[in-house]
Amino acid sequence: MKPSSASRSAADVASDGGKTGPLRGLRVLDISTIVAAPTAPTAAALLGDYGAQVTKIELPGSGDGLRNFAPFKEGRSLWWKATNRDKRLLTLDLRHPRARPIFGALLAETDVLIENFRPGTLDGWGWSRDALWQAQPRLVILRATAFGQDGPYAARPGFARVFEAMGGLAYITGSPEGPPMHAGYPIGDAIGGLFGALGVMAALWKRARAPDLPGEDIDLSLTEGVLKLLDFLTLKQELLGESHERSGNLSQYAAPGGVYRSRDGQWVSLSGSTDAIFAANCKAIGREDLAANARYATNRHRCESAAVLNAVFGDWFALHDLDEIVRLFERAGGTLAPVYSARQIAEDPQMRARGFLQAVEDPDHGRVHLPGVVPRFALDPCAIRRTAGGLGVDNADVYGGLGLAPAELESLARQRVI
């Protein structure tokens, strides 16, 4: 791995494909597929956001299944373009005998390998953990599966809805009288991607402290990732004998708290668990008397009277338009936000002032905008440069760099090795 230094030369940065950020010089090989959900490619993309050079391998001919996920523009998946941003895109059939020396050469230049096949799949192709570490002794391997590398469910496939359902998230989402609900986005994948990237960073820190140690083999269960995020869910069941239940948009932790409709048909979300914020929210609606009432002195007391407080605030919101609501809460220092659509996000002055939606190059649609890098690094800033391109678009450059001649590449392509 190349040293991370603010004094690196322009030639060094160019060798990383122009990448910047604290992880520049880190080499990531992403061989995951859509079969176990987009979690693994998301983890790779996050590492790439921070400066790592990410190379993604797809199956020749068909490519990754995420290319067929909506929404589409002119037949091309926008989800694919976003999730695989800034990656070098190769095709290689790891099952083919002629792929073995090529994959081995790629591994020799790799710090992190990310895969999401069912347990044992890579072993069956001749790439056991020992074989991987023989090719690159310090390799960090991230394995993302629905339920982990062992246990009775290890061989089951999974998508975000599986993780969300069996990880407890769907059960606590929705209205009390309705069925469990999933969010309008596969949040289970996003959760897994974050845990995957964090796990890789933890392993790299160990490797940085002890360079003579081997790499690491990380077992990421995506269902466990969802449950981990919910934190106290099982503790509540164990110690109180209660399953956490659905409460719709009404908060179970603070009162008043929920989503309310304004007079002009807009939606606002109200929160605030501290006494000071409750007082500010009451001031915003002209009900300072509520904050002075001993019945609502603490958040615990307010939660016991949640129905009353939510009704008071809900009735007030129904009599006022959104602009006035936001203005009064800002003046009082309350904690309220309009519920934004994607269009409103793009038009928001805070988003524009921060430039968070970054203009990047797209090979099919020109300049488009993607969410920027989170968080921001003051001394080593990161940037996203482009969306994902076509199948095998970087084959010639990368494989040529490994010493494969054009004639050999043509032969490999004819045999569907690449």
* CATH number, domain with residue 55: 3.40.50.10540
3-state SS, residue 339:
coil
CA distances from residue 3 to 12, 22, 215, 301, 407 in whole angstroms, order as listed: 10, 10, 18, 55, 35
Same domain, 28 and 124: yes
pLDDT digits (tens, 9 = 90+) for 208-219: 999 888 899 999
pLDDT band at residue 17, thresholds of 50, 70 and 90?
low
Q: Do 63 and 38 share a structural domain?
A: yes
Query: Where in the sequence is the domain holding 311, given as residue range(s)?
Result: 258-339
Answer yes or no: do 178 and 271 share one domain.
no
Task: Check whether residue 281 and residue 164 sit in a common domain.
Answer: no
Residue 44 one-letter amino acid: A
Confidence of residue 38 (pLDDT cuts 50, 70, 90): confident
Angle of the 187-209 helix axis to the 222-230 helix axis, nearest 10: 100
Residue 10 reports pLDDT greater than 60: no
Whose structure tokens read 């003579």? 212
CATH at 316:
3.30.1540.10
Residues labelled catalytic: 189
Q: How far is CA 14 from CA 8, 24, 106, in A?
A: 10, 11, 19
Domain boundary among 290, 309, 339: 339
The per-residue pLDDT for 118 is 93
Give me the torsion for CA of 204, 205, 209, 212, rounded to 10°.
Answer: -20
Same domain, 314 and 403: no
| Domain stop point among 339, 368, 385 | 339
In a domain, 321, yes or no: yes
Residue with tokens 């790299």: 204
Same domain, 177 and 30: yes
Task: Cite the DSSP H helix spans in 231-318.
Answer: 233-240, 275-284, 288-292, 299-304, 306-317
How far does CA 334 lie from the centroid of its chain? 30
pTM of the model: 0.91
Residue 18 — pLDDT band, cuts 50, 70, 90? confident
Same domain, 96 and 69: yes
Do 211 and 299 lie in a common domain? no
Out of 314, 339, 364, a domain closes at 339
Query: Is 67 in the same domain as 177?
Result: yes
Mean local confidence (pLDDT), 347-367: 95
